[in-house]
């Protein structure tokens, strides 16, 4: 299929959602993908790479009710056990296999720089998804992108970035309880979380430090991008007033706040719940977390 976009257009029509793990980036990603004019990497693009990218999302672009039913479990963006029938429905995914296919490592060394082949491959993949879906903008969310901002800038000049920030204490609490954390390779250390614990590191301390390291990497990467192409959003404000927050994000991305999109957001009845860590941690646990996070929490206004 002949491309409808010029190579330079792809960057200006691409946006990345970034944020430390467990900051709500998956929720924001799925919320934005409810919009009929948003393209994304779907489960079909990952598991059936022989198929033309973006074709399946094109067929469901305006089926907002079906998206809500397939992507959200009673308002929750995470399925513990997703029914098999819902797995057949196109869904936004992080899409690391697409990045890997083009030569982008999830743990790039400090001196990694994408070569011409990698740049062409990833730009072409995004371009084909945009063309197939006939959407206004391509949105990608991948936690590893927190550490690839410099490389992404070279591939997608003019791209926009939505940085979702959440209270580090809530992030640490959430991270310490997810089932995949024990086998997860902690990128700034090189060991798995379990290996770090076996060496004497306390789990909650590592989780607290992980938020700080992720935020440092994000601040360093985003500092190299023009300020008008970066929008910071607070997770707490997103849940407290999702309609107005998503309206602001939509304007930033060049999207209209359609009645259909607004109704979909309102139907989820998102609400902000009080901080869970206040009831879950002992004074000793809180002290360990604050030892890691207090300076950054103060800088961000959470204290």
Task: Supply the CATH number for residue 247's domain.
Answer: 3.40.50.300
Task: Provide the domain limits for residue 129.
Answer: 7-167+228-273
CA angle 54, 52, 3 (to 5 degrees): 80
Spatial distance between the Cα atoms of 145 and 107, rounded to a whole number of angstroms: 10
* pLDDT tens per residue, range 122-135: 999 999 999 999 99
Nearest to 55 by CA among 64, 43, 65, 69: 43
Tell me, what's the pLDDT at 119? 95
* pLDDT tens per residue, range 259-274: 999 999 999 999 998 8
Query: Is residue 42, in this structure, part of any structural domain at all?
Result: yes
Q: Is the pTM value of this prediction over 0.85? A: yes
Tell me, what's the pLDDT at 169? 97
Spatial distance between the Cα atoms of 106 and 142, rounded to a whole number of angstroms: 9
**Three-state secondary structure readout of 42-81:** EHHHHHCCCCCCCHHHHHHCCCHHHHHHHHCECCECCCCC
The more confidently predicted of residues 140 and 106 is: 140
Cβ–Cβ contacts within 10 Å for residue 237, how many? Answer: 14
* Average pLDDT in the chain: 91
Query: Is residue 23, in this structure, part of any structural domain at all?
Result: yes
Tell me, what's the pLDDT at 45? 85
Query: Is residue 200, in this structure, part of any structural domain at all?
Result: no
- Under DSSP, the state recorded for 100 is H
Tell me, what's the pLDDT at 53? 75
Average pLDDT over residues 267-284: 91
Average pLDDT over residues 59-71: 90
> Which of 25-29, 73-77, 245-249 is the least confident region?
73-77
pLDDT at 32 over 60: yes
Query: Is residue 81, in this structure, part of any structural domain at all?
Result: yes
Tell me, what's the pLDDT at 255? 97
Average pLDDT over residues 145-156: 95
Cβ–Cβ contacts within 10 Å for residue 165, how many? Answer: 23
Average pLDDT over residues 132-144: 95
Query: Is residue 63, in this structure, part of any structural domain at all?
Result: yes
User: Domain count of the chain?
Assistant: 1
> Which of 23-37, 53-67, 142-156 is the least confident region?
53-67
* pLDDT tens per residue, range 213-251: 999 999 999 999 999 999 999 999 999 999 999 999 999
Query: Is residue 195, in this structure, part of any structural domain at all?
Result: no
Nearest to 92 by CA among 120, 62, 72: 72
pLDDT at 52 over 80: no
Query: Is residue 93, in this structure, part of any structural domain at all?
Result: yes
Tell me, what's the pLDDT at 75? 58
Phi, psi of 285 (to 5 degrees): -65, -45
Nearest to 39 by CA among 19, 56, 23: 56
Percent of the chain's residues with pLDDT above 90? 78
Tell me, what's the pLDDT at 5? 57
Query: Is residue 202, in this structure, part of any structural domain at all?
Result: no
Nearest to 143 by CA among 218, 41, 252, 76: 218
Instruction: Please classify residue 213 by burial: count the beta carbons closer than 10 Å to its beta carbon, then call 0-12 exposed, 13-18 middle and 19+ buried.
Output: middle
């Amino acid at each position: 299929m002949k491309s409808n976009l010029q190579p330079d257009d792809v960057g200006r029509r691409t946006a990345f959602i970034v944020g430390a793990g467990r900051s709500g980036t998956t929720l924001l990603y799925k919320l934005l993908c409810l919009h009929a004019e948003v393209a994304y990497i779907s489960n079909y693009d990952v598991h059936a790479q022989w198929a033309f990218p973006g074709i399946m999302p094109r067929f469901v672009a305006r089926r907002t009710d079906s998206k809500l039913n397939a992507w959200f479990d009673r308002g929750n963006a995470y399925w513990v056990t997703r029914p098999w029938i819902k797995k057949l429905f196109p869904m936004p995914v992080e899409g690391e296999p697409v990045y890997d296919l083009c030569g982008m490592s999830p743990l790039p060394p400090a001196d990694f720089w994408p070569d011409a082949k990698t740049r062409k491959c990833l730009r072409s993949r995004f371009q084909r998804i945009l063309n197939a879906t006939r959407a206004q903008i391509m949105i990608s969310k991948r936690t590893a992108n927190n550490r690839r901002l410099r490389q992404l800038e070279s591939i997608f000049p003019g791209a926009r970035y939505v940085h979702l920030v959440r209270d580090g204490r809530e992030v640490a609490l959430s991270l310490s309880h997810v089932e995949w954390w024990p086998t997860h390779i902690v990128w700034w250390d090189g060991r798995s979380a379990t290996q770090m614990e076996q060496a004497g590191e306390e789990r909650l301390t590592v989780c607290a430090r992980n938020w700080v390291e992720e935020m440092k990497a994000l601040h360093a990467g985003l500092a190299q991008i023009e300020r008008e192409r970066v929008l910071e959003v607070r997770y707490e404000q997103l849940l407290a007033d999702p309609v107005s927050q998503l309206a602001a994000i939509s304007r930033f991305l060049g999207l209209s706040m359609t009645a259909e999109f607004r109704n979909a957001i309102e139907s989820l009845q998102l609400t902000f719940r009080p901080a869970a860590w206040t009831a879950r941690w002992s004074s000793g646990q809180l002290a360990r977390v604050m030892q890691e996070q207090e300076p950054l929490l103060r800088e961000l206004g959470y204290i």
